Amino acid sequence: MSDEKTPLTEEQIAAALVEVPGWRRDGDEITRSYGIRYHGGVAMIVHVADVERLIGHHADIDLRWGKVRFGITTHDAGYLLTAADFDLAQRIDVIAAAHQAEPIDG
């Protein structure tokens, strides 16, 4: 993969998805949900947001009672998938594990 913000080809997206097990493609974004108690979810989101600020890339985040959903796409690349999205997905997985969040479907 070349530039972090260059849209990926379908082949590159398929290969990148293998590197982030549990993440699903939903159109031009990748998504994943975690089960976590509400206040733990808030703490996890703050941790993710701090990392996002440092790397200059962010996810769309949906916090519900007992569940946090992340959706990632590159807004400044026309809402297409880039290497930056998959890098952020890997970072979110590490943060979620540190907060003892459980991956869930849906």
pLDDT at 106 over 80: no
**73/24 Cα distance (integer angstroms):** 12
Q: What is the pLDDT of residue 2?
A: 47
Please state, as a whole number, how many other Cβ atoms lie within 10 Å of the Cβ of residue 97. 12
**Average confidence score pLDDT of the chain:** 95
Q: What is the pLDDT of residue 1?
A: 40
Question: What pLDDT, in 10s, does the model give residues 24-57?
Answer: 999 999 999 999 999 999 999 999 999 999 999 9
CB 41 within 8 A of CB 67: yes
Which CATH number describes the domain made up of 10-104? 3.30.1360.20
- C-alpha distances out from residue 11 to 8, 23, 36, 92, Å: 8, 16, 33, 23
